[in-house]
Amino acid sequence: MKRTTPVLALGLAAALALSVGGAPAQAAPSDRSSSTPDRIELPDGWLPEGITTDGTSLFSGSRADGAIQKITLRTGKRRTFAGSPGRIAVGLDHDTRRDVLWVAGGAGKELRAQDADTGKLLRTYRFPSEGDRFVNDVVVTPTAVYATDSLSRELLVVPLSTRTTRLPAAWRATTRSLKGDLRLAEGNNLNGIASVRGTLVAVQSNTGRLFTIDPRSGRTTRVRTGGTTFVNGDGLEPGPGNTLYVVQNRDNRIRVLSVGAKARSARVVDTIGRRDFASDVDVPSTVALVKGSLFAVNARFGTPAPQTATYWITRAPAR
């Protein structure tokens, strides 16, 4: 999800540590930085899954109705972009060139482009299929927007022009059949997707395998990880250099990978576990990297009464 890293103002923790209702956040552990918030409250019943950043704000989407909350890191100011019944927001990515949020629509079989300042729905791209489809995560590159479908062996594509910032027409949305090493298994298949130094990488949640994807041919190649797998793999976030963060949601951890040339191989160099998060963590799904910190949204899959449950964003050091 987004990759720029602004300088955060002092006093940020105080501005963001308050919940929507004004209750104080939990006490910070010893690794707390005065310039970064440890815990950011989301509205009760928010049902978050995706998170991204434009470098100054965090954006969290809601699976309840597709609403999006924009939280300005410097001031703590919040703005909620309204959703609508039947709509959901899963993966998010910010398109810096167009200042647009690209929002994966889950079972709605769609990808939405929304203004990152106002939330206005600019265009909807639909990907019909004969069976079920779950548009799960999304990444923006200079030439296209790519989204994963967790129920099929297809890559969802919206081509972008390098000559103009205008959004492509809705009919330009297309699919690319995937071949090669990827094999579908029972459950949630392709999930998080990222561009790592120009190479598309996705994680298959049920098998824990990483794959590169050639967007032109649709060929998938398994990334060599020395036998390590990432079951429950969810969001992927590129870091500086050859770093890739892999979120394992129900394991409550983030694996830190060093990725080889063209992402042919990767090795685990660190693990961010429960005790490394600056506040409570409960099924983190995706993360956004901002100035040395990973902001993880807690999806809390399986929590009782999710429509009224509490939700929050937790900071972890980006190692």
Domains along the chain with CATH numbers: 47-278 (2.130.10.10)
Please tell me the predicted confidence (pLDDT) of residue 319: 85
Task: Please give the structure tokens belonging to residue 118.
Answer: 């106002």
Distance CA 3, CA 140 (A): 11
Please tell me the predicted confidence (pLDDT) of residue 130: 87
Q: What is the DSSP letter of 294?
A: E
Chain segment 124-177, per-residue pLDDT in tens: 999 999 899 999 999 999 999 999 999 999 999 999 999 999 999 999 999 999
Distance CA 196, CA 110 (A): 24
Confidence check: pLDDT of 17 > 70:
no
| Phi then psi dihedrals of residue 152, to 5 deg | -140, 170
Confidence check: pLDDT of 31 > 50:
no
Distance CA 227, CA 222 (A): 11
Torsion of CA 307, 253, 259, 183, to 10 degrees: -60
Task: Please give the structure tokens belonging to residue 262.
Answer: 């063209």
3-state SS, residue 101: strand
User: Which residues share a beta bridge with 59?
Assistant: 52, 70
What average pLDDT does this structure show over 191-220? 98
Distance CA 88, CA 236 (A): 20
Classify the C-alpha dihedral 4-61-253-234 as positive or negative: negative
Distance CA 38, CA 315 (A): 5
Q: Over the range 252-278, which residues count as b (16 or more CB within 10 Å of their CB) and which as e? A: bbbbbbebeeebeebeeeeebeeebbb
Chain segment 265-318, per-residue pLDDT in tens: 999 999 999 999 999 999 999 999 998 999 999 999 999 999 999 999 999 999
Contact 103, 60 (CB under 8 A): no
- Using alpha carbons, select from 217, 219, 143 the residue that is nearest to residue 181: 219
| Phi then psi dihedrals of residue 13, to 5 deg | -60, -40
> What average pLDDT does the chain have?
90
